């Protein structure tokens, strides 16, 4: 079960999945609850927390395998497919002059379970683009950047785009392998061929 927000849930011993879809309270704290003796806060009425009226809730059901649960990026993809619609963006930082003298690299794919694309922008130098990603896992990830058009140069750089460390290019400049340490943020400077 996928949800666009935070919902309480419970998996019972019988295998039933219980979701708390809507929670409404009448008082900030009550002393007559079976699950807890005494007050947890001030005993104050909260009439606006009753959630009166209609509510619209979105949930998605996605059949998954044990392999899916072991791959966080697979679950993220399922969630994004359900709740994040497609949108187009005009990248203003790519001026007409830069596009004319900097051929596009085509489609760019980030491979590696746990790697999350965070930034794609033109390089401050005006040559090529900067791709940033981070490793969302507590373990190292062997990743790769796969390009639709070949690159002539790819380097690992600092966040300020300095201190380049050239990386090997594979498949005619269309694949760049790399290793991401646990929870690391990485920046790459890519220049098209």
Instruction: Round to whole Å and give the CA distance between 104 and 10.
Output: 48
Q: Which residues on adjacent β-strands are paired with residue 144?
A: 111, 177
Q: What is the pLDDT of residues 123-142, one digit of tens each?
A: 888 888 999 998 989 999 99
Radius of gyration for the chain, computed over Cα atoms and rounded to the nearest angstrom: 24
pLDDT at residue 86, as a whole number: 61
pLDDT digits (tens, 9 = 90+) for 70-106: 877 788 888 888 887 665 554 444 433 322 233 467 7
C-beta atoms surrounding 154 within 10 Å: 24
For residue 90, what pLDDT is reported? 47
- Residue 141: the pLDDT is 95
Rounded Cα distance, 155 and 166, in Å:
4
Q: How far apart are CA 97 and CA 59, in angstroms?
A: 45
Q: What is the pLDDT of residue 95?
A: 37
Edge-first strand order for the sheet with 115-122 is 115-122, 129-135, 185-192, 151-157, 165-166
Cβ atoms within 10 Å, residue 94: 14
| Domains recognised in the chain with CATH numbers | 58-85 (no CATH), 105-192 (2.60.40)
pLDDT per position in the chain (193 positions), as tens?
888 877 788 889 998 988 888 777 888 888 887 777 888 888 888 888 877 888 888 888 888 888 887 877 788 888 888 887 665 554 444 433 322 233 467 778 888 888 888 888 888 888 889 999 989 899 999 999 988 889 999 999 999 999 999 999 999 999 999 999 999 999 999 998 8
pLDDT value of residue 184:
94
Look at residue 101 in the predicted model and tell me its pLDDT: 31
Among candidate residues 96, 158, 106, the one with its CA nearest the CA of residue 130 = 158
pLDDT of residue 104: 63
> Cβ distance 100 to 138 under 8 Å?
no
């Amino acid at each position: 079960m996928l949800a666009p927000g935070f919902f309480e849930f419970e998996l019972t011993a019988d295998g039933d999945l219980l979701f708390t879809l809507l929670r409404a309270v009448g008082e900030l704290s009550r002393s007559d609850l079976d699950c807890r003796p005494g007050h947890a806060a001030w005993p104050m009425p909260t009439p606006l927390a009753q959630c009166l009226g209609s509510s619209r809730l979105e949930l998605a059901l996605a059949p998954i395998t044990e392999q899916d649960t072991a791959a966080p990026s697979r679950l993220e993809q399922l969630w994004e497919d359900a709740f994040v619609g497609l949108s187009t963006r005009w990248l203003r930082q790519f001026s007409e002059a830069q596009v004319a003298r900097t051929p596009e690299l085509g489609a760019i794919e980030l491979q590696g379970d746990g790697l999350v694309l965070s930034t794609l922008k033109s390089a401050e130098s005006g040559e090529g683009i900067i791709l940033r990603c981070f490793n969302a896992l507590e373990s190292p990830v062997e990743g790769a950047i796969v390009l639709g058009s070949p690159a002539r140069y790819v380097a690992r750089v600092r966040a300020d785009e300095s201190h380049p460390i050239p990386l090997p290019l594979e498949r005619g400049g269309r694949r760049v392998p790399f290793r991401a340490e646990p929870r690391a943020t990485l920046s790459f400077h890519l220049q098209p061929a």
